[in-house]
Amino acid sequence: MTLEELDFVCRLRNSRLDLSLQPGYILITSARNPFIKPFLTYKRAIQLRQNLQDTEATVITPIGKAIRSLSIDGARPGAVVIVTSSHEISLVITFATCHYIPFVVQGGGFSTSGASSTHGGIVINLSIMRSIVVDLTSQTVAVQGGATWDEVDQAAAKEGLAVVGCTTSAAGVGGTTLGAAIRGAGQSFGVVTESVMRAHPQRPSVFGGFIYLPVEQLTAVVEFANQFDTQTTGDEALFFGFTTRPRAPLSTVIVALLLYNEPSIAAEAFFAPLLALKSIRNETHEMPYPKMNTILGWFVAPGTRKSISGTTFTPPLDLQLMQEVHDDFDKFTRTYPRVEGSAVVFELIPYTCVNQISFDATAYANRGQYHNVMFIFRWYDQELDMKMVNLERAMTSKTRDRAGVVRIAGQGVGSTLNSGPTWWIRDTEIWIQI
């Protein structure tokens, strides 16, 4: 037995195996064993570096802070390869496939931590590949896989344009593209090196911002939300729900994010019923369009452990259910330490134009006469991981069972992109082809 074969056997003995999940694969879970050795040995890392010596790619090994900044919860990659071209990506994937080494791709950062990692595998980092080209003639924007939505927004806005993108502009373009735009896509689809998106005319400024309200205003907020679909002209959006009070994390408040793609006068008239309520803090104002797209970033900002899940709901919302969601969330914030910034967010976005497109015309199947609700839990204590996820799932299930849709004939899948596995920091899972 060679040293590499012996090394592999030792790793298997320190792991939990499940041979029944998928033919030809073994799922290895690290079982929080800090001594499990990487699949990419140092010898293989040197070979990888030699394979790329005639390119501009940079290979970073586990020695140094750079690789730790790309790791998640102790999942230490065997190497991070910062690539500059599709050719280099192809060389890395070929190397990983030939030697049965798992690899992941980090684009602009689509995960909740903005990182991407694999324990002992290879991280293909696209951070240098972030070129953005705006073509006014074709009204398109070509974006490399390492760019973020904020960079796309800024580049398009300079030409008076905008593209349909992510609600969190700090996220990477590549991950969003795989999740919703490419037919048959997903995390195992491939490496998105460049996307070309249609652009649309966009005025330079919009009205929007957060408004924080006491829970006593819940009835008025729900009444306004239940009328949104009949009142909207297509230029408005409303995100509302519950979060911890700014600078007072043990107090739950109503939070509403207003958006109106018109000047302040029209916006203030449409949102008058909300703006007239006695608020704790009102941050709404007219702002540059790219700035508006950064506002939701603080919900998923790095630095904490987090879990994000979602489901659907159909208006009108039941006031009793909303009160129960508030009570459950308020109990959560008062029971567990350092969960500030967690939130429950109901999304009201006008989908009239989107729903006019046939469901077999695009890869985006979550469309219909319903909306999405997101559950964002943030915490710091690793020991609370399972507790947080279970609490979040319970709240998600309650909302789905009483207000959501599983599937409406002819109206899409009735499920958000995040209603499947939650994104959280957990034991590392590695697929190895055998």
For the chain, the domains span 3-128+427-433, 132-201, 205-403
Rounded to 5 degrees, φ, ψ at 423 are -90, 115
> Residue 42 has what pLDDT?
81
User: CA quadruple 45, 51, 56, 57: dihedral positive or negative?
Assistant: negative
Distance (Å, whole) CA 314 – CA 225: 11
pLDDT per residue as tens, the chain (434 positions): 444 444 444 444 444 333 333 333 333 333 344 444 447 888 888 899 999 999 999 998 865 444 444 444 556 788 889 999 999 999 999 999 999 898 888 876 655 454 556 778 898 999 899 999 999 999 999 999 899 899 999 999 999 999 988 777 777 887 555 555 555 545 555 788 888 999 999 999 999 999 999 999 999 999 999 999 999 999 999 999 999 987 776 789 999 999 999 888 999 999 999 999 999 999 999 999 999 989 887 776 777 888 888 898 999 999 999 999 999 999 999 999 999 999 999 999 987 777 777 767 766 666 777 899 999 999 999 899 999 989 999 999 999 999 987 545 455 555 554 444 344 433 333 222 22
CATH architecture entry for 3-128+427-433 = 2-Layer Sandwich (3.30)
Q: Which two tokens stand for residue 4?
A: 């590499």
Q: Which two tokens stand for residue 115?
A: 């990182």
CATH fold of 205-403, please? Vanillyl-alcohol Oxidase; Chain A, domain 3 (3.40.462)
**pTM listed for this prediction:** 0.78
> Residue 263 has what pLDDT?
85
Q: Helical H runs in 27-85?
A: 42-51, 65-68
> Residue 109 has what pLDDT?
62
Q: Of the candidates 252, 243, 258, 403, which has an alpha carbon nearest to the alpha carbon of residue 317? A: 403
Listing DSSP states for 237-260 in one string gives: EEEEEEEEETTEEEEEEEEEEEEE
> Residue 177 has what pLDDT?
52
